[in-house]
Amino acid sequence: MREVIFDTETTGLDPKTGDRMVEIGCIEMVGRVETGRTFHAYFNPDRDMPAEAERVHGLSIAFLSAKPRFAEVADELLEFLGDSNLVAHNAGFDFGFLNNELELAGRTPIAMDRMVDTVAIARKRHPGAKLSLDALCTRYGIDRSHRVKHGALLDAELLAQVYVELTGGRQIGLSLIASGADAAPGAGADSPALTQFTPNAPWHRPSADKPRREPRPHVASPEELERHAAFIADIKGAIWTS
């Protein structure tokens, strides 16, 4: 199943009052796995940029004035979106701005039944918890240290990881591929075989200050067998002797 995770940046909060979309970032996923295909564009909004909006995303009119208008790239964007479901965080906001731009450009708005809202999903999974993208990244251990300001493509990349966790999840930091000396014979770096389940979480890593011990063979020694036989013989009224 193909899905597109997307995010927008805007001049404000309401397209009905004249606010415009100035950036869109899209990530393609198939089967909840990122394919590497993306779509990203900035737009000249043909209006001013309120200071409070610029503080959020850092996009100035001086920067955006040299960018194309939405109508100039609308067809390219629609081709990328195709007929896939569109996933966004607080999706009603992003759909409102995207459809407003499509209408202004003389294109057909995207049907709302294609909308997938990760806020609604998160609210069901974590009732009463904080549902911002930052909060969900923290909950799922997703690194957002490079997110200094909002950016449509960066936020879409983070949301793609959050979406996977919200819809089933994958354990971040786990690897199924053995490497180096731990790999089985014939299972090199290019081998498709999954030879070892190797957790990389800190509590599974061998400590550097402790020697590595070889696994103990699960076979009793002759001395242990002798002691066991003496112990069994000393049991009075054992059911296996009656």
DSSP letter for each residue of 154-195: HHHHHHHHHHHHHTT---TTEE----GGGSPTT--TT-----
Amino acid making up residue 109: P
The closest alpha carbon to 18, from 41, 52, 43, 49, belongs to 49
Greatest mean pLDDT among 3-7, 178-182, 217-221 lies in: 3-7
Q: How high is the pLDDT of residue 215? A: 58
Q: Is 50 exceeded by the pLDDT of residue 173?
A: no
Quote the percentage of the chain above a pLDDT of 70. 77
Copy the structure tokens of residue 234.
């000393």
The closest alpha carbon to 89, from 113, 120, 58, 114, belongs to 120
CA distance 73 to 64: 15
Q: How high is the pLDDT of residue 224? A: 81
Q: How high is the pLDDT of residue 240? A: 67
Q: How high is the pLDDT of residue 212? A: 56
Phi, psi angles (nearest 5°) of residue 6: -140, 160
Decide which of 31 and 170 is more confident: 31
Q: Which is it for the CA torsion 106, 116, 169, 82, positive or negative?
A: negative
Q: How high is the pLDDT of residue 181? A: 38
Q: How high is the pLDDT of residue 195? A: 32
Q: Is 80 exceeded by the pLDDT of residue 214?
A: no
pTM: 0.69
Q: Quick check: 160 and 180 in contact, CB under 8 A? A: no
Q: Is 50 exceeded by the pLDDT of residue 239?
A: yes
Q: How high is the pLDDT of residue 148? A: 60
Q: Which of 89, 126, 150, 228 is catalytic?
A: 150
Q: How far is CA 14 from the centre of its chain?
A: 28
Q: Is 80 exceeded by the pLDDT of residue 39?
A: yes
Q: Is 80 exceeded by the pLDDT of residue 193?
A: no
Q: How high is the pLDDT of residue 201? A: 37
Q: Is 150 a catalytic residue?
A: yes
Q: How high is the pLDDT of residue 242? A: 59
62-94 burial string, b = 16+ CB within 10 Å, else e?
A: eebeebeebeebbeebeebbeebebbbbebebb
Q: Is 70 exceeded by the pLDDT of residue 192?
A: no
Report domain extents, the chain: 2-166, 173-233
Average pLDDT over the chain reads 83
Q: Which is it for the CA torsion 142, 148, 154, 155, positive or negative?
A: positive
Instruction: Label the pairing between strands 85-88 and 2-10.
Output: parallel
State the CATH class of domain 2-166: alpha beta
Quote the percentage of the chain above a pLDDT of 90. 65
Beta-bridge mates of residue 5: 27, 87
Q: How high is the pLDDT of residue 221? A: 79
Amino acid making up residue 204: H
